[in-house]
Structure 1
Amino acid sequence: MDSVLFRDQFGTPEMREIFSDESVVQRWLDVEAALARVQGRLGVIPAWAAEEIESKARVELIDLEELKREMDRTAHPIVPLLRLMKRVCEKDAGEYIHWGATTQDIVDTGTVLQVRDALDEIERSLRELHARIKTLCVRYRDQVMVGRSHGQQALPITFGFKAAVWADEIRRHLGRLAQMRKRVLVGQFSGAVGSLAALGEQGLAVQRALFAELGLETPEISWHVSRDGIAELVCVLAICAATAGKIAHEIYCLQKTEVAELEEPFAMGKVGSSTMPHKRNPPACETIVAVARLVRHSVPAALEAVMAEHERDKMVLQTEREFIPRVCAMTHLVLRKLGAVLDGLSVRTGNMEKNLFLQNGLLMSEAVMMRLSDALGRQEAHEIVYRICMDVFERGGSLKQALMEDPVVAGRLDEDDIDAMLDPRVYTGLCGHFVDQVVAQPLP
C-alpha cells in the first residue's frame, strides 16, 4: 500500500493520508487534547494545564523518529508519546495529560476518528458511483441486450435494467453505512478495565463531555473487549467492495472478444501485452476484482478479533491495527477505480443487438412456450418446445424454421405469429418499469 510503484493499485492518496503515521499520532493527540479540555472545564485538572496541553497537542512538535525508538524500547505506543508531550509542555502541565485514561482509550478513540474520516470518503465515492450508474440506467433504459443465466443466453433484458440492479444494490449499501455509523463511531474512555475507577463520580461527566467534544457516540459500557463494531465495519466494507468487484467482473465478461458488448476505457498508449500488440485488456476491472477479493478475505480476521479475552486483550488490537487501514484503503480504491471505469465505459449497442440473434431464435423459447401453453398446457408446451430447441441446437438451422415445420406448432401458429414471438425487442417484460422505479428511489 505504501509502495511507490504499486500503491495506487491498493489504496488512494486520501486513505494513505488518513492512516499515515502523522495522522495516527495526531488523532491520539486530538483525543488527549479533548480530554484535557473537558477535564479543565469540569475542574478535574487545572484550567491552565488543560490550555497548555491543548496548545501543544500537535504532531509537528513530536519527533516521530524518537517516538519510534521509545516505542520499540518500551514495547508501548502511548507512554513514550506522553513523555514527549511532557517535554514540550510548559511548567508541570505534562503531569495532567492522560488523566484517568488508559492506553486503549486513546488508541481506540483515535482509530474511530480515523474510521470516521475514512467512511466519509467511502460514502462520497459510493454516492458518486451511484450517480454514474443512474446515468447509465436512464441512457440505456430501453437498450435491449441478452440476459444471461448460468453463463448462457437466457432472455432479453435492457442494459438499463442491468445497471439498475447495480444502482439499487449501492443504494442499500448507503443505508448500511448510515445505520452502521451509530454502532461503529463510538468513543472509548473507561480506564484500565472499563470501570472508570480512577475518576470515580466524575468519570461519567468526563466521558460524556469528551465524546460530545469529539462528535462521537457515548457507549453504554466499555467496549475494550467488544470488537463487534469493528467486525461490522469490515463486513459492511467487504460487501461494498464485493459489489464493486461484481460489477467490474461483469464488465470484464462482457468485454470478452466473442461478446464485446462493453469495454472499459481505452486510450492510445494503454498496452495489453508485451508480445501481442493487438490486445486490449481490461486491467482496471481485473484490479478491482482482485482487490475486492482481498477485502472479502479480511472478514475472517475481523471476526476472529471479536473473540477477545478478559477485560483487555492486545492480541486482537494488533490484528485490527493491520487490517482496518488496509480494508478502508482497498475499499475506497475499488469504488474510485470503478467510478473511473464507468465514466469512460464503452457501450457497444451494435454488438448487443447482434448477440440477440446469435442463437437463431433460441433466445425466445420462453415466449413460444408461453404462447403454446394457452392451447396445450404449460408442461406439454414445454416438452414440445424443448424437443424443437434441442434439435436446432444440435443440428443447426433456426428456431423459426423448425417451428414452422413442426406439425403441432404449425397447426396453431402462422408465420406472422412466429415472427412476432421471436422478436427480442418486444419481450423485455417490465424492465423499463423497474429501471424507473430504481431511478426514482431517494438515497439514504
Structure 2
Amino acid sequence: MTTGEQRWAAGLYRDYQIAGLFCDDTLFASFSCFEQALINGLAKTGLVAPADAADLARQIAAFKPDGAAIAEASMRDGVPVPEYVRQLRAHVTGPAKPMLHHGATSQDLIDTATIQALASVNAILSDRLETLLALLSGLSARDGENQLQAITRMQPAVGFHASDRIAAWRHTVQALRDRLPALKEQTKILQFGGAVGDLQALGENADIVARSIAQELGLRWPGHSWHSARGPVLAQANWMSELTGTLGKIGQDVALMALRGNEDIRMSGGGSSSAMPHKQNPVTAERLITLARFNATLVSGMHQAQVHELERSGAAWMLEWMILPQMCETAGTSLSAANALIQSIESMGKSA
C-alpha cells in the first residue's frame, strides 16, 4: 500500500510488519531458497552429483543480488526473475552450474515466494485473532451483565445484555479463526511447472524433484502446477476480505454506540476536532469501517486477476502482485486496530 508523500496517512493504513514480508530482500531470499531446493532435488535424481549440488547450493546461499539492477530489468522483463537468475549464473561456478534453474520458470519462483509470504502473514493474523478473542471475552466478563438497547433496522427494538452484542462480534471472529487452519493448508502449496506448466524439461524425474523441493521448503506438492488456477491466493483474499468485513461491522457498531452516548459505550483516546474541542471522535472504529470497505473493493480485483489466458498470464498475474500485499496489510492493520478499539472501551452498557 503506497501513500506517496502523504506520510501523515501511512499510520492509519500501513502494517509495516506485514509489508516487510513482501519487500525485495524477502523476495530474493525466497528465490535463493527455491534455487537451492531445486538443485538439491536434481541431485536426488542423479542429474547432478551430490557433492556438486552441495557446492552450488552453498554458492547460491551466499549470493547477494543487485536489487537496483533487478528493478531496472523488471521494467523490460515484467518480472524480477530473469535478471536475478542472470546475476546468479554470473556468480556461481563449478560442474553443476549448467543445471542452475533447470526445469523451473519465473512463475515458479514468484508464486512460491508469495505462498511463503502468506504463511508468515497467516501466522501474524492468527496471533492477533487470538488476542482479539481474548479481549472480547474479557470485555464480556466485565460488562456483559450491563443493559443495552438492541437496535434493529436503525430503530429501538428490545432491551438485552451487553454480552449479547459482544457474543455476536465474537462468534464471527471465532468462525474465521476456526477456518484459518484449513486456509493455511490450502495455501501451503508449492508452485512448480516449468515453462508451460507440465515440467516437461524434467521428464520422468519431475515428481521426484517437485516432492524434494516441497519437502525442503516445508510446502505441499499437489502433483501439478497451478500457474493459471489461482485458487490458493484467491482463497486467501476472500478470507481476508471477510475478516476485515467482520471487524468493520464491529467498528460500525461501536461508532453508532458512541453516537448514542455514554449509556451505550464510554471509550478512552478518541480523536479531536479542529473546530469542536468538545468532540471525542471514534477514529479507530472509523478506521475499521474504512479498511473493511477497502478490502471489499480490492477483493473484486483479485477475482479479475483469476482470469488467466491459456497456460500463463502476465497481465492477470501482475494485477495480483499489486493487490494481494495490500489486502494482507489491510487485514493486519485492521486486526491491530480492532484490538486497540476493544482495549479502549472503558464501559459498555448501563449497569443494572
TM-score (structure 2 length as normaliser) = 0.93
- Quick one: which of 112, 117, 123 aligns to 1:114? 117
Range that drifts further, 221-230 or 256-265:
256-265
1:53–1:2 distance in 2 versus 1, CA, 3 Å: farther
Separation in structure 2 between the aligned mates of residue 70 and residue 5 of structure 1, nearest angstrom: 32
Aligned to 1:217: 220
Gap runs ≥5 in structure 2 = none
Q: Distance in 2 between matches of 1:136 and 1:271?
A: 22
Checking the alignment, whether the CA contact within 8 Å between 1:109 and 1:188 is kept in structure 2 is yes
Indicate whether 1:206 and 2:204 are aligned: no
What is residue 23 of structure 2 aligned with on the other side?
A: 20
CA contact (8 A) 1:263 1:282 kept: no
Equivalence for 1:340: 340
CA contact (8 A) 2:104 2:192 kept: yes
- Contact 1:22–1:59 (CA<8 Å) still a contact in 2? no
Report the identity percentage: 23
After superposition, the C-alpha distances for 1:317-344 in whole angstroms (9 at most, x for unaligned) are 1111011100001001001111011112
Q: Distance in 2 between matches of 1:298 and 1:330?
A: 10
Confirm or deny that 1:161 pairs with 2:164: yes
Taking the aligned partners of 2:59 and 2:263, their CA distance within structure 1 comes to 60
- 3-state SS of paired residue (1:192): coil
Distance 1:166 1:310, change over 3 A: same
Provide the secondary structure at the position in 2 that maps to 1:5: helix
- Asked if the contact 1:50/1:93 (under 8 Å) is kept, the reply is yes
Question: What amino acid sits opposite 1:153 in the alignment?
Answer: P
The aligned residue for residue 238 of structure 2 is 235
Corresponding position of 2:318: 318
Contact 2:176 2:243 in 1 (8 A): yes
In 2, Cα distance between equivalents of 1:260 and 1:142: 14
User: Which residue in 1 is equivalent to 2:85?
Assistant: 82
Q: Which amino acid aligns with 1:317?
A: W
Query: CA deviation digits over 1:398-419, x for unaligned, max 9?
Result: xxxxxxxxxxxxxxxxxxxxxx
Q: 1:7: Cα distance to partner?
A: 2.5
Taking a change above 3 Å as real, the CA distance of residues 45 and 245 of structure 1, as seen in their structure-2 partners, is same
Give runs of aligned pairs for residues 97-112 of structure 1, distance below 5 A: 97-112=100-115
The total of aligned residue pairs comes to 349
TM-aligned CA deviation for residue 2 of structure 1: 4.6
Change (3 A) 1:287 1:312: same
Report the equivalent of 1:292: 292
Shift of 1:229: 2.0
Q: TM-score, normalised by structure 1?
A: 0.74
Q: Which has the larger radius of gyration?
A: 1
CA distance in 2, matches of 1:257, 1:330: 29
8 Å CA contact 2:267–2:347 kept in 1: the answer is no
- For 1:194, the equivalent position in structure 2 comes to 197
1:251–1:264 contact (8 Å) kept in structure 2 = no
Corresponding residue SS for 1:307? coil
Match of 1:367 in 2: none
RMSD: 2.0
Higher relative CO (CA 8 A, sep ≥ 6), structure 1 or 2? 2
Cα drift, residue 8 of structure 1: 2.5
SS at match of 1:308: coil
AA matched with 1:12 = D
State the partner residue of 2:70: 67
State the secondary structure of the residue aligned to 1:154. Answer: strand
- Choose from 152, 162, 166 the match for 1:149: 152
The 1:53/1:249 distance shift into structure 2, 3 A limit, reads: farther
Q: Return the alpha-carbon distance in structure 2 between the equivalents of residues 144 and 222 of structure 1.
A: 56
Task: Report if aligned partners of 2:31, 2:113 keep a CA contact under 8 Å in 1.
Answer: yes
- Report how far residue 240 of structure 1 moved: 0.6
Say if 1:280 and 1:62 are closer, same or farther in 2 by CA, change over 3 A: same
Unaligned runs of at least 5 residues, structure 1 = 354-424, 426-444
Letter in 2 for 1:295: N
Question: Which residue matches 2:328?
Answer: 328
Partners of 2:298 and 2:76 in 1: CA distance: 31
Q: What letter corresponds to residue 227 of structure 2 in structure 1?
A: H
| Equivalent position SS for 1:6 | helix
1:5 alignment partner, one of 8, 12, 17: 8
